[in-house]
Amino acid sequence: MNIRFLKDHLLDFEVATAICGIGVLRFWFDTGWIVAILLGLSAFVLIPLLVHLVFLIRAILIASRHP
């Protein structure tokens, strides 16, 4: 995983995910605009948490290999 690329483009990924999520929720699942926007904007919280979790698990695995 290229960490520099991830740091440079994390906000881009979050915005793209939020916009896609809003569109999918609104038009595919036929939710209201308010619900779609609120759930789509939750991507700004979920993506950094998932990235943090990936790095945490990776650090734990690397630390367990080296005594």
Distance (Å) of CA 45 to CA 11, 26, 35, 40, 67: 11, 20, 16, 10, 34
Domain span including residue 13: 3-65
What are the tens digits of pLDDT across the range 36-62? 888 887 877 887 888 889 888 998 998
pTM for this prediction: 0.58
**Distance between CA atoms of 25 and 18, rounded to whole angstroms?**
10
Count of structural domains, the chain:
1
Which pLDDT belongs to residue 57? Answer: 93
Length of the chain: 67
Residue 19: helix, strand or coil by DSSP? helix
**What's the distance, Cα to Cα, between the start and end of the chain in Å?**
24
